[in-house]
Amino acid sequence: MKTIIFLLFISILLYFIFLEKDIQIENFCLLSGILPLKVYNNLYNPDKFRIEINKIGGVYGLVNIYNPNKIKQYIGSSKDLYQRLMDHLKGRDSNIRLQRNISKYGIDNFQFVIYYWDLDPSVILTDIETEVIKSFSFESLYNFKKEANSSLGYKHTMVAIEKMKLRFKNKSNHPMYGKSILILL
């Protein structure tokens, strides 16, 4: 009986902790005038919301909720929100400031927030992303720039490709040489 009461107490406590974090996100977003359409918790198990955001385009935020008085986030956009989330979780093509804070605070202190989503591939998401970025204080962002851009569809010239090959012929010139990669599952 004591065990059941204890487990019930812990579940209620955890509920209020997560509820408080969601309220903090909404208060943080209210200051900017933008409310999220959806907030995803428990990023250590992203498969449970895969169906909802797989192959859906949109503008998202990865929000650090560790310190409710100093919430920070990375804002981005993608044609496939689920794939982009997985890139961030695995440390692929991700913002270095965001990755450092995921390592420092743990993925359980982050939420994936959807600010905009759309199935129309002709929508230019970087324009919407820029507006979302501008809605927040730049000090509250991990982003490096105040305007979004995309390299989608960009192709390097043959000269540039050859220069890259020459530069990395000596492996010690590669920026990831000798470093371990953070992989979160």
Count of domains observed in the chain = 1
* 106 domain-assigned: yes
Domain membership of residue 58 (yes or no) is yes
140 domain-assigned: yes
Task: Convert the pLDDT of each residue in 95-115 to its tens digit.
Answer: 999 999 999 999 999 999 999
Above 50 in pLDDT, residue 177?
Answer: yes
Average pLDDT, the chain: 79
Encoding tokens for residue 13? Answer: 């406590």
Write out pLDDT tens, residues 2-15: 444 433 344 433 34
Q: Which domain holds residue 105?
A: 2-155
Task: Quote the tokens at residue 90.
Answer: 């695995």
DSSP output for 143-155: -S-SS----TT--
Phi, psi at 143, each rounded to 5°: -60, 145
Assess if residue 48 is contained within a domain. Answer: yes
Residue reference for tokens 């989503």: 117
* Full-model pTM: 0.67
- Please say whether the dihedral angle defined by the alpha carbons of residues 32, 33, 37 and 38, taken in this order, is positive or negative: positive
Q: Does 74 fall in a domain?
A: yes
In a domain, 84, yes or no: yes
Residue 77 lies in a domain: yes
Which CATH number fits the domain that encloses residue 141?
3.40.1440.10
Structural domain includes residue 162: no
Confidence of residue 136 (pLDDT cuts 50, 70, 90): very high
